[in-house]
Amino acid sequence: MSQKSQGGFKHSTGKAACMAALLAVAGIGMHSAAYAADTKASDAKAAAPAAKKTAAKPAKRTKFPDWSGVWGHHGSLNFDPTVDSVSADVQPNAPLNAEYKQKYADYIAAIKAGKPRGDIGCLPEGMPRIMRSPYAMEVVITPGLVWIPLEFKREIRRVYTDGRKPMDPDPSYEGYSVGHWEGDTLVIDTTAIKAGTIDSRGLVHSDQLTVHERMRKSNAKTLEDQITLTDPVVFTQPFTVTRIYDLHKDWEVKEFVCEDNDRNPIGANGQTGIAIKK
């Protein structure tokens, strides 16, 4: 091999070595860039906040207890069903404060003297008085709302079970009722009730009254309503009674129009009279 050829060979070998070196450097650079990109992506992924898991909404209730039929109250007409309706004695379980205990005693004294004071006439019974009515009652259960139509004076209670909270309703006779289900027990809280009477025997309440109920079917023919009254103006402590309603398969809810036959109008002297149409 000639020196020139050897020189040429050496020159070619040098170029090849140089090119290999450049490619190696380029490869390292590309690898470094790819590594940096992967590292950056990993860092970004690590820094990104974890996606929030959306809590599953509770399934809407589709099955409810069967309270169909017509119900009639069981017990006396006093708010406290354990006290005889015709008794002129003070209902001993009512936790009245001193002021309202005296007012109640005066009311009872008027009855004993044969001068009963006027009641409410054809005005609505309202809550909680309507729940001791001797007339027919129904309970209609739907998703989000329970209706309680009562024959007496055509009153209707609406109990909202759709999760709403009472905003600031105006006071009314029936008040504003929201409820929820605990198993097959309907739990009801009623507020915004106009000041009025608790029964036709002289017990009264203020506009600060709240009513808590636990309504359930204790057996196939019996509906039970545990009613707790809280009134800081009238009572010294909560007043709880349990009203019982019997199922009457042969009853129907009839139309009741008090104004057509008001047999107990209130006279000019404030006393209850008797007027029977012939």
Asked whether residue 85 carries a pLDDT value surpassing 60, the answer given is: yes
pLDDT tens digits, 41-68: 555 555 555 555 555 555 678 899 999 9
pTM of the model: 0.73
Asked whether residue 77 carries a pLDDT value surpassing 90, the answer given is: no
The alpha carbon torsion through 74, 78, 81, 84 (nearest 10 deg) reads -100
The residue-averaged pLDDT of 206-223 equals 97
Which range has the worst mean pLDDT, 10-24, 197-211, 262-276? 10-24
pLDDT tens digits, 158-205: 999 999 987 778 999 999 999 999 999 999 999 999 999 998 888 999
* Per-domain boundaries in the chain: 1-37, 71-260
Burial annotation 107-126 (CB, 10 A radius, 16+ → b, else e)? bbebeeeeebeeebeeebbb
Per-residue confidence (pLDDT) for residue 114, from 0 to 100: 82
69 vs 89: CA distance, rounded Å? 35
Per-residue confidence (pLDDT) for residue 276, from 0 to 100: 52
pLDDT tens digits, 222-239: 999 999 999 999 999 999
pLDDT tens digits, 106-123: 888 888 888 877 677 888
Beta strands 210-219 and 176-182: pairing type? unpaired
125 vs 120: CA distance, rounded Å? 8
24 vs 35: CA distance, rounded Å? 16
Q: What are phi and psi of 193, to 5 degrees?
A: -100, 130
Of the CA atoms within 13 Å of residue 111, those in its CB half-sphere come to 15
